[in-house]
A and B are shown apart, each in its own frame.
Chain A
Amino acid sequence: MSVFAFLIGTLSLAAAIGVVVAAKPVHSALFLMANFATLAILYVLLDAQFLAAAQVIIYAGGIVILILFVIMLIGHDPADHSHQDLTRPAMASLVLGAILLMSLGLQLTGHLEVGTDGGIASGGSPSAIGTELFTRFLLPFEFVAILLLVALIGALIMGRRESGEPEEPAG
């Protein structure tokens, strides 16, 4: 089991490095999908089935597809020429990455006891999460409905063709 986890972890790490070093954006996106998928397997190994399913559906499914759409719409530049010096985004990611490393380091070395007040960590099965959503996190759960309503209205008005706009070619 642990050998398998180690193998998957290595693959996941390799995919993550691939995202950063790949020259073509499409390759980065595909590496990202591989990374998300291997992460989902790790979640299953940790007995968090719901999280694994959500990971596959939302990240590997939704987000990577969205990224691919964006690459398709913008038109992919064959290679990225923009890494001469440290740009502002690069600086920001360095700082944020350092914070992430620090938090992981503190947890792995046992300096930081992570206690959770819910049953999310214990189990992560769909039924445990469902119970949490309808008891402890009822109010956020209900507010999400309003957020989704806003998103729905937004998708409708942004996607609707105004009169006077040119007809798009079919197909």
Chain B
Amino acid sequence: MNLNYSAILPEMVMAGGAIVVLMVDALRRIENHRGDAANRGSGLLLTLSLLVAAGAAVAAFAVRGESGLMFQDSARSDALSFGIRLIVLATTILVLLVGSRYVSTFTRYPGEYYSLLLLSATGMMAMGIASDLMVLFIALETFSLSLILLAGMYRHNRSSTEASLKYFLLGAFASGFFVYGSALIYGVTGTVSFSGMGPALQVAADGGPGAVLLWAGIALLLVGFGFKLSLVPFHMWTPDVYQGAPTSVTAFMSVGTKTAMFGALVRIFLMTFPYGFENWTGPLIVLAVLTMTVGNVTALCQTSIKRMLGYSGIAHAGYVLAGLVPGTETAVNSALFYLFAYAFMNIGAFIIVMAIEHSVETDVERSQLRGTGAAMPVLAGFMALFLFSLSGIPPLAGFFGKFLIFRSILDGGLAWLAAVVVVNSAVSAYYYLRIVVTMYFQQRPQEVHAPQSSPAMQVGMVLAGVMVLAIGVFPAFFMGLLMVPGL
């Protein structure tokens, strides 16, 4: 028995913290004589949640040295799990920084909101350490279920409820594929733990009796991944859910889900099934090319900023998948670096959307941004920074992310795939920069709503902006931080 609890300290801090937040919330309600002033004391909950996330980040650094298999081979702590934890925690902190005032515009239950956010992040981090089909599935369900609930927290808004229901139904569908695939893999290999699968996988990959079932199982697993990562053609749910959910939840979902799922994808496809990985590059390339192209082309036609960011999120998943296709150490490192950069630039852009949207509607049309460059120079400046980074303009974070992905693809000898990535980046630059043009070169309409940014939101915005610059200026430092040595 190997019960190395210290190695899963970050997850324990997050889960424990979520329970503490719930209990403090209950006490707060009693103090407030139930019902009135739902807002009072929610700042305390926010501070507490931020402390929990920061504590988990400290714990992640503290246990960075702990590596290897634990808990009877059901978990593995290594450089990959550290990278996943880091990106998920950075995402959580940025999304928490949106502040209690924004949260109060869509829900009367801030305690539940914060604790679900923390629990969802726990599930995402657990995806990084999972080394067992069971832990993987439970972690997947934990973060998906929390996201479904978070997406539906705007109870008075029809599209939020619709987003929640849609995500629930398609999530259940995806889980079905995932479980069926897992069952077949278990049937062929006789074990659920990734480390024990090696010999049986080798036999099956060499054309043993279970080969057909194994491939069917892996294909079903890949379909499950496709749904969660919103890869084309499994992406139908993404724009509606991204548009309907409260914007802070959309921001969290867009980065967190991708990070957790790509972590698990690397763990399974590159570290566990390396036998015959060449067989999988074909389908993965097709998925990556479709995802990038459909995501970008559809994003071109959107007028809603949230929907546009939703489709562009699909395209970004395509870039990361394309970067992973060579299946090498460089590929994994480039994908992790890209996700790290994406966390800051994407959530940064969403924070601006939240500042500009008015409380009742949870969406911003492109026309609402007209003339913001002159009226709100700071906000527009940051938005431009995030959009430049998303479109991959040097020297910002997004540029280095794309650069590493090009290099990984070229090292893998897939020059034409790199060309597809370049063309897609050019397409995406058009719709990102079009927003900058709208902000700076179009007249502002008469009736204006002042942006509703709270101090916490400004801190989040500046933090994201500084990180986008820092990652761009010192890429080597962050590459070292996220380095996964060997597979």
Residue of B nearest to A116 (CB): B190
Say yes or no: is A1 at the interface (Cβ < 8 Å to chain B): no
Q: What residues of B have a CB within 8 angstroms of the CB of A139 in the complex?
A: 8, 70-72, 74-75, 132, 135
Query: In the bound complex, how far is the Cα of B152 from the Cα of A127, in angstroms?
Result: 41
Give the interface segment out of B142-150, B425-433, B466-474.
B142-150
Q: What residues of A have a CB within 8 angstroms of the CB of B220 in the complex?
A: 99
Q: What residues of B have a CB within 8 angstroms of the CB of A99 in the complex?
A: 180, 184, 213, 216, 220
Q: Which residue of A114, A146, A156 is within 8 Å of B123 (Cβ)?
A: A146
Q: Which residue of B22, B74, B119, B184 is within 8 Å of A103 (Cβ)?
A: B184
Say yes or no: is B312 at the interface (Cβ < 8 Å to chain A): no
Q: Report B109-133 residues with CB < 8 Å from chain A CB.
A: 109, 112, 115-116, 119-120, 122-123, 126, 132
Q: Which residue of A96, A117, A135, A143 is within 8 Å of B1 (Cβ)?
A: A135
Residue of A nearest to B8 (CB): A139
Say yes or no: is B439 at the interface (Cβ < 8 Å to chain A): no
Residue of B nearest to A162 (CB): B155
Give the interface segment out of A14-22, A31-39, A63-71, A147-155.
A147-155
Query: In the bound complex, how far is the Cα of B422 from the Cα of A124, in angstroms?
Result: 56
Contact assessment for B145 and A151 in the assembled complex, using a CB-CB cutoff below 8 Å: yes
Contact assessment for B19 and A111 in the assembled complex, using a CB-CB cutoff below 8 Å: no
Contact assessment for B142 and A117 in the assembled complex, using a CB-CB cutoff below 8 Å: no
Known A140-B74, A147-B141; judge A112-B213 contact (CB<8 A). Answer: yes
Say yes or no: is B64 at the interface (Cβ < 8 Å to chain A): no
Min distance, Cβ A115 to any Cβ of chain B, angstroms: 4
Contact assessment for B72 and A143 in the assembled complex, using a CB-CB cutoff below 8 Å: no
Known A116-B190, A157-B149; judge A150-B116 contact (CB<8 A). Answer: yes
Q: Report B207-235 residues with CB < 8 Å from chain A CB.
A: 209-210, 212-213, 216, 220
Q: What residues of B have a CB within 8 angstroms of the CB of A156 in the complex?
A: 112
Annotate B132-166 by CB proximity to A: 1 below 8 A, 0 otherwise: 10110011011001101100110110000000000
Residue of B nearest to A98 (CB): B216
Query: In the bound complex, how far is the Cα of B75 from the Cα of A102, in angstroms?
Result: 32
Query: In the bound complex, how far is the Cα of B72 from the Cα of A99, in angstroms?
Result: 31
Q: What residues of A have a CB within 8 angstroms of the CB of B141 in the complex?
A: 147
Q: What residues of A have a CB within 8 angstroms of the CB of B155 in the complex?
A: 162
Min distance, Cβ A112 to any Cβ of chain B, angstroms: 5
Number of interface residues of A (CB under 8 A): 35
Query: In the bound complex, how far is the Cα of B152 from the Cα of A162, in angstroms?
Result: 13
Known A135-B1, A140-B138, A153-B116; judge A117-B191 contact (CB<8 A). Answer: yes
Query: In the bound complex, how far is the Cα of B75 from the Cα of A99, in angstroms?
Result: 30
Q: Which residue of B1, B115, B135 is within 8 Å of A140 (Cβ)?
A: B135
Min distance, Cβ B122 to any Cβ of chain A, angstroms: 6
Min distance, Cβ B22 to any Cβ of chain A, angstroms: 7
Contact assessment for B156 and A164 in the assembled complex, using a CB-CB cutoff below 8 Å: yes
Q: What residues of B have a CB within 8 angstroms of the CB of A94 in the complex?
A: none
Min distance, Cβ A63 to any Cβ of chain B, angstroms: 13
Q: What residues of B have a CB within 8 angstroms of the CB of A144 in the complex?
A: 138
Annotate A62-106 by CB proximity to B: 1 below 8 A, 0 otherwise: 000000000000000000000000000000000010010011001
Residue of B nearest to A139 (CB): B71
Of the A-B pairs whose beta carbons lie under 8 Å apart in the complex, a sample of 23, sorted by A's number, is A99-B184, A99-B213, A102-B216, A112-B187, A112-B188, A112-B209, A112-B210, A113-B190, A114-B190, A116-B191, A117-B191, A135-B1, A137-B74, A139-B75, A140-B135, A143-B138, A146-B15, A146-B142, A147-B145, A150-B119, A153-B112, A157-B153, A163-B108
Q: Which residues of A contact B (CB under 8 A)?
A: 96, 99, 102-103, 106-107, 111-117, 135-140, 143-144, 146-147, 149-151, 153-154, 156-158, 160, 162-164
- Given A103-B184, A138-B72, 11 more pairs with CB closer than 8 A: A106-B210, A112-B187, A112-B209, A139-B71, A143-B142, A146-B142, A149-B119, A150-B119, A157-B109, A157-B112, A162-B108
